[in-house]
Amino acid sequence: MMTIWYGGDYNPEQWPREVWDEDVQLMDRAGVSLATVGVFSWARLEPRQGEYDFGWLDDVLDLLHANGVRVDLATATASPPPWLAARYPETLPVTEVGVTLSVGSRQQYCPSSPVYRERVRELVVRIVDRYADHPALELWHVNNEYGCHVSHCYCDVSAAAFREWLRAKYGRIDKLNRVWGTAFWSQGYGSFKEVMPPRATPTFRNPTQLLDFDRFSSDELLACYRAEVGIIRGRSSLPVTTNFMGFFKPVDYWAWAAEVDIVSDDTYPDPADPDSPAYAAMVRDLMRSLGGGAPWLLMEQSPSAVNWRRQNAAKAPGQMRAWSYQAVARGADAILFFQWRQSAIGSEKFHSGLVPHSGTDTRLWREVEQLGQELAALSGRFGDEAIGGSRVSSTVAITLDWDSWWAIEQPASPTDVSYVQTLFAWHRALTSLGLAVDFVRSDGDLSGYRLVIAPAHFAATDAQVQNLASFAETGTLVVGFGTAITDENLHVRLGGYLGEPLRRALGVWIEEFAPPAAADLQRFGSGKVPALPLDGEVFGGPAAGHVWAEYLRVEDAETLATFTDGALGGWPAVTRRQTGGGAGWYVATLPEPVALRRLVEQVALDAGIELPSAVASGGQVEVVRRGGSLFVINHGADDAELLVDGTDALTGTSTLGMRLAPQGVVIIVPVHVGDGRDRAAL
């Protein structure tokens, strides 16, 4: 049996002892199988430096164990107690404008602080010594959401650490000067001592300094994580995780994913945003991809409303369940929440919990019980019908690289581009056709894919462009605007953007950028960027692009769409070059959603990927195949009707002609697996 875990963050230290007994009774009713304990317990575990109090945590773990709940034990290092700052004020983080962040909230530590790291070591050694053999333990949870509030620290301690990092990277100051391009604006350094973190400056800061500081900041947090993991691995063989935060810009999760035993994620889609299901689908695909396709854990989501948006919408009835199944469909083997019991104190008291303020005679609690019972039943499936442990397979991938994300969103760039929104546009077009999508690094192994899309891969290494260009020899490569404009040091690739070897692989190069004009922006007043008219058979006729445009020069490719208006009128917008065994496409703008979907359809056909046949009509249906099961989820406001036959694993009923209400979910088995298409047995 492969368990699909159910439960969430459990913070009993906020409650009197008698509540704990009720907690475990309710956990049993809800089918809770995993509780994350101790995330914010440092002040309780070490109330004064060197004075430890583990008695209460012993009781919590024993109680959970006696009631059959497994434990994801946190190392409690996410939020230092006030004594740390009182005694060692240099552990407090400082912002780029020089503001010191104080105690009284959470996460107030400088990641580079040797004092913080030493106090962490002392604490974690004790926690691990004490609990490594506790029978309740299932998993270690290191820190919490690294970088969530303080991802970059600009204090003097960080400045010294940054200089050490730079010294290790460059060795000599003249190398740093060359790579940072300090010949510009009289920025040349005489020694490493003169180098600063990119604190507030009169105007634009050095781009490569900024990029190196992003890399350094991600590495410093990773060093904190590694130090804790080292202690755990010395004494315990249980798996280790730390919770990621979806597309979180400050931390390069590719580097981190290699160091966790299982990927876990915290996701809080906004119930008020109609794009949330599509965006959450992308986040879940990233989590699966970070773990190389292995099952991952949805570590935190909210049962209903959060408390940290300006307006905090409650989830609609059934939405918690529908979004949970979306995660399972896309590879999650755990549905966990923040948090078990809704707090009565503190700044998260209006954040929903599995046990709401109003108790168990509530809509929410009934949904909590239902979901727990369903997941327990699904956990019992095995063989071809097993869901837990099974995989999602994909022949399509989108490249994602943190360097390019950091680089393309720097100030003093051609225009304002959101890297993630650009990826989202492509991902959404693909998933709306029913295709499963992975994310890959652009220098990763692409051999398992038929179609690879590289959008806005701005700061590219030679190895990355070579890898992409080689892929185009056998597969279908689509390169989106803003790619390979610079190398990894943010030095422009001269002689026509894109540069070799992509220029040869795609048969095009870029002469000049022409994003929608600022004057138009002012004229439109609303901040709405004007669309750029396009035409071409790949779009089935007139269409529009937005965000970006380029003067594209074609050397050895077929033009499939052109810009039709203004200065760009007549210039190519989409090209395709046939290669030996594949094709290289180039797209010089971001086509609007309907046009992008049509384009993606053509590209998929070009790659020999058969599009899945319709599984339902009506509603707003998401269809995902995982292992031998086909998940169908209706995110829309209207009923959908299922067009395929099979058995719903949740209810045991036959699915052909079934009406799927809004927020409805069916898991169809068996799925006809022969042709690789996402449909149930027809």
Catalytic positions, please? 145, 300
Nearer to ligand GAL, 8 or 515 (CB): 8
User: Does the footprint of ligand GAL cover residue 107 (CB under 6 A)?
Assistant: no
**Packing angle, helices 319-329 and 276-290, rounded to 10:** 30
User: Does the footprint of ligand GAL cover residue 148 (CB under 6 A)?
Assistant: yes
Handedness of CA 68, 69, 73, 76 (dihedral sign): negative
User: Does the footprint of ligand GAL cover residue 144 (CB under 6 A)?
Assistant: yes
Nearer to ligand GAL, 244 or 563 (CB): 244
Identify residues 323-342 at the interface with ligand GAL (CB under 6 A): 338
Length of the chain: 682
d(CA 405, CA 661) in angstroms, rounded, equals 39
Nearer to ligand GAL, 10 or 406 (CB): 10
* Vertex 62 angle, CA 46 and 26, to 5°: 110
List the structure tokens of 115: 């004092």
Report strand pairing: 541-546 vs 621-626: unpaired
Contact 634, 326 (CB under 8 A): no
Among the listed residues 23, 46, 72, 145, the single contact to ligand GAL using CB under 6 A: 145
For ligand GAL, which stretch binds (CB under 6 A), given 140-148, 254-262, 272-280, 624-632? Answer: 140-148
User: Mask: binding to ligand GAL, 602-641, rule CB under 6 A, as x and -?
Assistant: ----------------------------------------
> To the nearest whole angstrom, how small is the minimum distance from the Cβ of residue 359 to ligand GAL?
21
Residue in the shown chain whose Cβ atom is closest to ligand GAL = 338
Is the bond preceding 339 in cis, omega lying within 30 degrees of 0? yes
| Number of helical (H) and strand (E) elements in the chain, helices listed first | 18, 28
User: Does the footprint of ligand GAL cover residue 352 (CB under 6 A)?
Assistant: no
d(CA 330, CA 293) in angstroms, rounded, equals 10
Nearer to ligand GAL, 148 or 314 (CB): 148
For ligand GAL, which stretch binds (CB under 6 A), given 298-306, 357-365, 477-485, 581-589? Answer: 298-306
Nearest Cα neighbor of 480 from 545, 393, 533 is 545
Contact 270, 276 (CB under 8 A): yes
Nearer to ligand GAL, 250 or 612 (CB): 250
Nearer to ligand GAL, 302 or 342 (CB): 302
User: Does the footprint of ligand GAL cover residue 306 (CB under 6 A)?
Assistant: yes
> To the nearest whole angstrom, how small is the minimum distance from the Cβ of residue 298 to ligand GAL?
13
Single-letter amino acid, residue 590: L
Contact 497, 479 (CB under 8 A): no
d(CA 508, CA 513) in angstroms, rounded, equals 14
List the structure tokens of 650: 């949740």
Contact 630, 607 (CB under 8 A): no
d(CA 513, CA 45) in angstroms, rounded, equals 57
> To the nearest whole angstrom, how small is the minimum distance from the Cβ of residue 144 to ligand GAL?
5
> To the nearest whole angstrom, how small is the minimum distance from the Cβ of residue 308 to ligand GAL?
6
Residue 624's beta-bridge partner residues? 631
Nearer to ligand GAL, 303 or 516 (CB): 303
List the structure tokens of 639: 């009923």
Nearer to ligand GAL, 264 or 422 (CB): 264
Report strand pairing: 572-578 vs 541-546: unpaired
d(CA 662, CA 317) in angstroms, rounded, equals 9
For ligand GAL, which stretch binds (CB under 6 A), given 141-149, 525-533, 572-580, 629-637? Answer: 141-149
Identify residues 227-286 at the interface with ligand GAL (CB under 6 A): 266, 268
Nearer to ligand GAL, 263 or 485 (CB): 263
Q: DSSP string of 630-671? A: EEEEE-SSS-EEE-S--EETTT--B-TT-EE-TT-EEEEESB
Identify residues 422-451 at the interface with ligand GAL (CB under 6 A): none
Instruction: Tell me the residue ranges of DSSP E strands in 302-412.
Output: 332-337, 396-399
For ligand GAL, which stretch binds (CB under 6 A), given 205-213, 300-308, 314-322, 657-665? Answer: 300-308
Nearest Cα neighbor of 304 from 287, 326, 321 is 321
User: Does the footprint of ligand GAL cover residue 300 (CB under 6 A)?
Assistant: yes
User: Does the footprint of ligand GAL cover residue 23 (CB under 6 A)?
Assistant: no
Nearest Cα neighbor of 545 from 521, 573, 575 is 573
Among the listed residues 163, 205, 351, 457, the single contact to ligand GAL using CB under 6 A: 351
**Interface residues toward ligand GAL, by CB under 6 A:** 144-145, 148, 266, 268, 300, 302, 306, 338, 348, 351
